[in-house]
């Protein structure tokens, strides 16, 4: 295979035990086989992946022929259940495309508007820079109106890189055509266990369809903050 432009790498951890063994692993991309390819440029460092969880690491168009996953140090064990390498976002699912729409949210803190989750900026310096932010409330939600009915193949969520990653724990991704309860009664695609600081997670939503994609955190005194939400799917039904 010739040189490729690598957009992202998705790693799936084992589900039976020992999921912490992958902590500290590095994803490296390049053209060199020096040190078995482990001296190539680093795309990301894995801080942790929960059991049976798939985590997407954005490599921002890095170029190379070889993709390595290496854990530096003595007496380490490397165990991987799945590694997926994508040369562009459309490779995530066959015939998929990135779907755009209009974003709204349940409340607003200062200037952290809903559309900041669809501005194409995942990471930027500063406090919650280019992220959304609701006030502390019961069941805070964010919704993307796709403006038509689509088959949804996956949703990728990027949390804040500066702090407060635990705020997304327990958030639900809903997809459907109803606006009952602001869209939060639509079927669930996934529940977010956790998202590490500065990491993008992809959630597969096979065979789901709808116009609205909601992210809601059930409970009292919750805050919802998102830095980027990407929706991929098929053409309108």
pLDDT, tens digit, for every residue of 92-146?
444 456 788 999 999 999 889 999 999 888 777 677 778 999 999 999 999 999 9
Domain check: are 114 and 41 in the same one?
A: no
Whether residue 211 is contained in a domain is answered as yes
Domain check: are 41 and 111 in the same one?
A: no
pLDDT at position 96: 54
- The pLDDT > 90 percentage for the chain reads 48
Tell me the pLDDT band of 90, cut-offs 50, 70 and 90: very low
Tokens 């930027």, located at residue: 124
| pTM tops 0.75 | no
Q: Please choose, from the candidates 148, 152, 223, the residue with its C-alpha nearest in 3D space to the C-alpha of residue 190.
A: 152
Domain check: are 147 and 37 in the same one?
A: no
Count how many domains the chain has: 2
Last residue of a domain, one of 18, 53, 87: 87
Tell me the pLDDT band of 206, cut-offs 50, 70 and 90: confident
The stretch 48-61 carries a mean pLDDT of 81
Domain check: are 104 and 81 in the same one?
A: no
The stretch 195-212 carries a mean pLDDT of 84
State which residues form the domain around 176: 97-236
Whether residue 92 is contained in a domain is answered as no
Q: Spell out a b/e string for 100-133, using b for 16 or more CB atoms within 10 Å of the CB, else e.
A: ebebebbeebeebbbebbbeeebbeeeebebbbb
Domain check: are 18 and 67 in the same one?
A: yes
Domain check: are 59 and 130 in the same one?
A: no
Domain check: are 19 and 103 in the same one?
A: no
The stretch 158-176 carries a mean pLDDT of 91
How far apart (Å, rounded) are the C-alpha atoms in residues 208 and 153?
7
- The pLDDT > 70 percentage for the chain reads 91
Residue 89 has pLDDT above 50, yes or no: no
Whether residue 117 is contained in a domain is answered as yes
Domain check: are 36 and 110 in the same one?
A: no
Last residue of a domain, one of 87, 108, 135: 87
The stretch 148-176 carries a mean pLDDT of 90
Last residue of a domain, one of 87, 107, 138: 87
The stretch 62-82 carries a mean pLDDT of 90
pLDDT at position 221: 96
Tell me the pLDDT band of 84, cut-offs 50, 70 and 90: confident
- At 150, which CATH number? 2.60.120.260
């Amino acid at each position: 295979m010739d040189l490729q432009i690598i957009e992202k790498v998705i790693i799936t951890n084992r589900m039976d035990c020992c999921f912490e063994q992958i902590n500290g692993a590095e994803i490296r991309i390049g053209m060199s086989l020096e040190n078995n390819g482990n001296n190539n440029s680093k795309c990301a460092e894995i801080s942790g992946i929960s059991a049976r969880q798939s985590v997407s690491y954005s490599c921002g168009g890095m170029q190379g022929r070889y993709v390595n996953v290496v854990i530096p140090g003595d007496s380490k064990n490397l165990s991987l259940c799945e590694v997926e390498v994508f040369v562009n976002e459309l490779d995530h699912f066959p015939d998929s495309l990135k779907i755009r729409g209009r974003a709204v949210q349940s409340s607003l803190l200062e200037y952290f508007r809903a559309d900041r989750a669809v501005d194409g900026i995942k990471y930027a310096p500063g406090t919650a820079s280019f992220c959304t932010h609701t006030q502390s409330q019961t069941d805070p939600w964010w919704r993307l109106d796709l403006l038509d009915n689509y088959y949804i193949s996956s949703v990728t969520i990027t949390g804040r890189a500066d702090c407060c990653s635990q705020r997304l724990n327990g958030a639900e991704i809903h997809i459907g055509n109803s606006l009952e309860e602001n869209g939060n009664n639509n079927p669930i695609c996934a529940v977010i266990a956790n998202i590490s600081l500065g990491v993008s997670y992809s959630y597969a939503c096979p065979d789901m369809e709808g116009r609205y994609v909601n992210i809601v955190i059930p409970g009292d005194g919750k805050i919802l903050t998102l830095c980027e939400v990407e929706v991929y799917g098929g053409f309108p039904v």
